[in-house]
Amino acid sequence: MNVKIAHIAAIFTVLALAGCANNGPYGGHSEKWYEKHTADMRAENKWCAGQSLSTQFHSKSCERAGSAVFYSKTTANAQPKKLTEAASIAKMTADAKLGNANAQVGLGTYLSSEKEYTKAIYWWKKSAAQGNVYAENNLGYAYSHGHGVPLDNTISVFWWKKSADQGNVYAENKVGNAYYQGIGVPKSYAKAIYWWKKAAAHGGKLGRRDQKKIDRLEHS
């Protein structure tokens, strides 16, 4: 897998699945953090590339990777193929057209990274129609920023709620923020705390940050 394909794989992971698209460039982190996260995703993709097709299709780790490696497998002999960037994207596009929700969200994210937002929205909506939690999350971001669609905070929260209902920590955080600020929904500190608590239960940096918000509100 060449460097460009590895980069595409990292984009799919970092933007579409890890949710960093929802926080702007580098997911609100430093460039150094992004470089390390990208390296981690490349390592994960490398591991997935060495596994059987069965493992790749059922592994949550490989599903998170959602990478060009995954979509460059041939089902005929289950052997990895090092494809060009164009061929890898073509395979993902073919899978997306066949209704593969992961391919659709990955293709949409690639198109978004190329600033082809209208096309990205098309594929994210296709994926979201199948209940893909990451596509729903990305649509929330798109509507909150007017990327490929008119800016509409009410619709943005609608999509984030759908993603949050499936346990997406990033969406839970966003819904909590929306209720706290009264953007797209009526302001409600109680509902903000409700969603932040869900995010906090995941732990991690985002969860700890939301717990601090809860503590400030409950002791103010």
CA angle 50, 133, 12 (to 5 degrees): 45
Give me the number of domains the chain comprises.
1
CB atoms within 10 A of CB 163: 28
In a domain, 111, yes or no: no
In a domain, 112, yes or no: no
Q: Which residues contact 105 (CB under 8 A, 6 or more apart)?
A: 16, 17, 66, 123, 124, 127, 132, 134, 135, 138
In a domain, 82, yes or no: no
pLDDT at 165: 96
> What's the mean pLDDT in 136-157?
95
Q: How confident is the model at residue 30 (pLDDT cuts 50, 70, 90)?
A: low
**By residue range, what is the domain housing residue 188?**
152-220
Q: Which residues of 126-148 are buried (b: 16+ CB within 10 A; e: fewer)?
A: bbbeeebbbbbbbbbbbbbeebb
Per-residue pLDDT tens for 110-120? Answer: 888 888 999 99
Residue 35, both tokens: 């470089």
In a domain, 4, yes or no: no
- Residue 61 in this model has a pLDDT that exceeds 80: no
Q: Are 135 and 127 in contact (CB under 8 A)?
A: yes
Integer-rounded Cα radius of gyration of the chain = 18
| Best CA proximity match to 137, nearest among 181, 104, 170, 115 | 170
- Residue 9 in this model has a pLDDT that exceeds 60: no
Residue 189, both tokens: 């500190």
In a domain, 126, yes or no: no
- Residue 45 in this model has a pLDDT that exceeds 60: no
In a domain, 159, yes or no: yes
In a domain, 74, yes or no: no
* Mean pLDDT computed over every residue of the chain: 74
CATH number at 175 reads: 1.25.40
- Residue 205 in this model has a pLDDT that exceeds 90: no
pTM value is 0.66
Per-residue pLDDT tens for 153-200? Answer: 999 999 999 999 999 999 999 999 999 999 999 999 999 999 999 999
In a domain, 15, yes or no: no
